[in-house]
Amino acid sequence: MSETTELQEKSLFEAPPIAEQERMVEAILFATAEPMTVADLSARLPHGCDAAEALAYLRRRYEGRGVQLVRVGDAWAFRTAPDLGHLMHKETVEQKKLSRAAIETLAIVAYHQPVTRAEIEEIRGVAVSRGTIDQLLELDWIRFGRRRMTPGRPVTFVVTETFLDHFGLESARDLPGIKELRQAGLLDSRPLPGAEKSDDEDEATTGQSELFED
């Protein structure tokens, strides 16, 4: 085997320069609608590439720019810089109303995950209707987690990356406190419903509930 052939074969297994890896990751993230994990990126990059290192370089490159590379759960995505978000607002904003029951259920899942339906009902003090859980699942704001290793092996619920992305959170640890939620208008000062109140009654007060907006 000639020296030229050996060099050609060796080059096939050498990773591209880190600058080129950075460009590849940049192109992939710009072309995909959903956040991507390091494993997802690695699967698309040539042999020998270091997706994590390329992400670190890319994140620093976009610091202070109008578009930033942000972490969403275990994945990464390009997002508009927070201070420029007002430029993205449309003149007509579509609002999705959630019943107070759905808002409380979502908050319990976010702050207590992983949590079972029985635990949600214990915290709220009332039964959780199937419709409330289905609505949050359809919005892709919660998903099924692992089953508990307890009698009956009940399923648990956790928030999704879609939920984190919607509210600009890197992880559930970045959730605001109760005071911040009330200041943002996502919670009111009324106490949690008593045990005598059902989900149906909660949904009847939708007009008094606060809204989550797209």
pLDDT in tens, 152-206: 899 999 999 888 888 788 787 778 766 666 665 555 544 444 333 434 434 333 3
- The structure tokens listed for 144 are 């099924």
Identify the pLDDT of residue 145: 92
Give the span between the Cα atoms of 175 and 43, in whole angstroms: 31
Fold of 3-88: Arc Repressor Mutant, subunit A (1.10.10)
Give the residue, 62 or 95, on which the prediction is more confident.
Answer: 62
Mean pLDDT of 96-111: 85
Residue extent(s) of CATH 1.10.10.10 domains in the chain: 3-88, 95-207
Residue 132 is classified by DSSP as H
Identify the pLDDT of residue 39: 95
- The structure tokens listed for 65 are 């720019």
Which single residue is written with the structure tokens 């984190």? 164
Which single residue is written with the structure tokens 């275990």? 74
Helix 51-61 × helix 18-31 angle, to 10° = 80
Give the span between the Cα atoms of 25 and 32, in whole angstroms: 11
Contact assessment for residue 58 and residue 25, using Cβ atoms and an 8 Å cutoff: yes
- The structure tokens listed for 146 are 């692992």
Note the pLDDT tens digit of each residue in 71-90. Answer: 998 999 999 998 888 887 76
> What mean pLDDT is reported for the chain?
79
Identify the pLDDT of residue 166: 82
- Domain 95-207 annotated CATH 1.10.540.10: no
Note the pLDDT tens digit of each residue in 19-53. Answer: 999 999 999 999 988 999 999 999 999 989 999 99
Identify the pLDDT of residue 131: 87
Identify the pLDDT of residue 29: 95
Give the span between the Cα atoms of 80 and 101, in whole angstroms: 32
Identify the pLDDT of residue 95: 61
